[in-house]
Structure 1
Amino acid sequence: MRTLVSRLIHSNPSFSRLNVTASSKIARSFTTDSNQVDEPFKVEEAETVNIPPPPTDKLLVLGGNGFVGSHICREALDRGLSVASLSRSGRSSLHDSWATNVIWYKGNLLSGDSLKEALNGVTAVISCVGGFGSNSYMYKINGTANINAIRAAADQGVKRFVYISAADFGVVNFLLRGYYEGKRAAETELLTRFPYGGVILRPGFIYGTRTVGSLKIPLGAIGSPMEMVLQHAKPLSQIPLVGPLMTPPVNVTSVAKVAVRAATDPVFPPGIIDVYGIQRYSQHKSK
């Protein structure tokens, strides 16, 4: 066999040259100059870039020391937001630990200068401002005060504005004419000034534990069972005059969750959210 291969190589010159060439290349690849030292592989050191953390949204809650407003402040703090609040009394009288993490401002929305400092650096506003009294007083508090806030926020370049309004209650609307006329005037202003970032929540009766001085009133004992029953009776709310009285109550924590989400989620739909919408959105997990 060895003799056969040797004859084949010698009898075929091209095969012999191919073999010699390949052997020469292999030999050169393993031959190194003893005086040459291979340079180590160089890696350019990456430049250190200091990337600032993403900015934290700053939320201003108007009326943050009230029943609904205090729950909104807590929900926003739990979401990691920077929270400020403005109200006529200023700092909350509540001694809960969350209150120390809120920047409190004292001011009157009927005065044009009250919001200037509080709006500094704010990306979204939630207004819980409202009240009862004479028709003229109710229109001022529910309407004029909120209209002033909406205009000031728009002029300041605030991105989103959420207004806690109220559901229609049929015959009750006439009895509290100033209250509802003020609410609807503020809604109109909001939809005009914030067509893409204005959200109106229209809850009915809001239940939860209300704190009045040192007294805690557990409204959930009444509101929770009523909500369970009336949320399945939506067709009854369409009955003229008395139908709106069948609007189900809603938990204050649900209102707070939806309000904060509406103020911070850029894809949350603008416009009016009724009680059933509040119930639906409150069940969605926050991002």
Structure 2
Amino acid sequence: MKLIVTGGNGFIGSEICRQAISRGIRVVSISRRGAPKRREPWMEDVLWFKADIFDTHAWKGVLEKGDQVVHTVGILLEKRKKKLTYDRMNGESVITVAHTAAKAGISTFAMISASDAPPFIKGYIQAKRKAEEYLKNQPFRSMIFRPGFVYGPGRKGTAFIAALTRFGLRIPLAGKMLGAYAPVHVSHLAAAVLESLEKPEIQGILDINAIRRTAQTVSGREDHT
């Protein structure tokens, strides 16, 4: 049995791959760019499979019965000329991978979703919610992670935004508005995902608080908000 990470060379996906390798898990990343341009020692232990996630015939052969899948593919801003829309990347990509994974007999499917999104990118969250509904009716155990604002060293400027958000959370009126965007460090999110994969009793939606609690059982650290 192995772990398949779609979008494994991205911000969240690469951290999941890194931590999975440290746990001794066999890891396969599927992404259109293949291996990351940067090189780190742990990357040598990942099988970097280069393929378009929508071309299922190109990658479905890496799936085996019992495998676990973590889907991290998604976009924050649309690029319609390149067909990178919310519906396609945040919704259809999940459904495509989940359908293919179900046919292969995988045991668990985890999706990186989001707690909420600002009104001006309403389509972002609508597409993710549509994908979440699809997962509820599949034969495998599904887990939907809904973090707030994910920050970390792999994404420039996010630590500053996270600090501002934490400050805003302390202000009564602003705190109510910003609650859905409470910062979660990418390493804590990855730890929560991997820990949840190992516990068959965990399934369904994991909100910001559940992600923190699960991550703390691994690291003993707290993501202060």
Do they superpose with TM above 0.5?
yes
Deviation, structure 1 residue 76: 0.5
Higher relative contact order (CA 8 A, sep 6+): 2
Pairing 1:126-141 to 2, within 5 Å after superposition: 126-131=70-75, 132-134=77-79, 137-141=85-89
Q: Work out whether residues 116 and 180 of structure 2, in 8 Å CA contact, stay in contact via their aligned partners in 1.
A: no
1:187 alignment partner, one of 132, 154, 160: 132
Cα 1:105–1:246 shift into 2, 3 Å = closer
1:202-241 to structure 2, matched below 5 A, reads 202-210=146-154, 217=156, 219-223=158-162, 226-227=165-166, 230=169, 239=176
2-side partners of 1:266 and 1:181: how far apart?
28
| Cα deviation 1:212-240 (Å, max 9, x = unaligned) | xxxxx36334425744873x789976x5x
The Cα offsets for residues 25-63 of structure 1, whole Å up to 9 and x where unpaired, read as xxxxxxxxxxxxxxxxxxxxxxxxxxxxxxxx4100000
**Partner in structure 2 of residue 178 of structure 1:** 123
Query: Do the aligned residues in 1 keep the contact of 2:65 with 2:105 (CA within 8 Å)?
Result: no
Note if contact 1:126-1:263 (Cα within 8 Å) is conserved in structure 2. no
- % identical equivalent positions: 32
Superposed, 1:16-27 pairs within 5 Å as none
| Number of aligned residue pairs | 215
- Counterpart of 1:247? 181
CA distance in structure 2 between the partners assigned to 1:234 and 1:165 by the alignment: 27
Query: What amino acid is aligned across from residue 279 of structure 1 in structure 2?
Result: R
1:100-179 correspondence runs (5 A): 100-120=44-64, 123-131=67-75, 132-134=77-79, 137-169=85-117, 172=118, 174-179=119-124
Q: Tell me the alpha carbon deviations over residues 166-202 of structure 1, each in whole angstroms, 9 at most, x when there is no partner.
A: 1113xx1x422332222111111111115x6100001
State the one-letter code of the partner of 2:125.
Answer: Y
Shift of residue 80, structure 1, vs aligned partner: 0.8
Instruction: Pick the structure with greater CA Rg.
Output: 1
Greater CA drift, 105-114 or 65-74: 105-114
Shift of 1:120: 3.4
More displaced 10-residue stretch of structure 1: 269-278 or 220-229: 220-229
Amino acid at match of 1:282: A
Check conservation: 2:152, 2:159, Cα contact below 8 A: yes
> Which residue in the other structure is 2:190 paired with?
256
Query: Aligned-pair distance for 1:75?
Result: 0.8
Q: Counterparts of 1:228 and 1:161 in 2: how far apart (Å)?
A: 35
Give the 3 Å change call, closer, same or farther, for CA 233–202 of structure 1 in structure 2: farther
In structure 1, how many angstroms separate the alpha carbons of the residues matched to 2:124 and 2:168?
27
1:116 Cα offset (Å): 1.1
Q: Deviations over 1:152-176 (max 9, x none)?
A: 111111101110001113xx1x422
- Helix, strand or coil: the match of 2:114? coil
Going from structure 1 to structure 2, the CA distance change for 1:227 and 1:101 (only over 3 Å counts) comes to farther
The letter of the residue matching 2:207 is D
Give the whole-Å Cα distance in 2 for the aligned partners of 1:218 and 1:81: 31
CA distance in 2, matches of 1:59, 1:265: 14
Mind listing any 5+ residue stretches in structure 2 that lack a counterpart? 220-225
2:68–2:108 Cα contact (<8 Å) kept: yes
**In structure 1, how many angstroms separate the alpha carbons of the residues matched to 2:48 and 2:74?**
18
Change (3 A) 1:246 1:264: closer
| 1:76 matches 2:20 | yes
Structure 1 regions of 5+ residues with no counterpart?
A: 1-56, 212-216
What is the SS of the residue equivalent to 2:62? coil
Per the alignment, residue 272 of structure 1 pairs with 205
State the TM-score, normalizing by the size of structure 1: 0.68
> Does the 8 A contact of 1:61 with 1:85 survive in 2?
yes
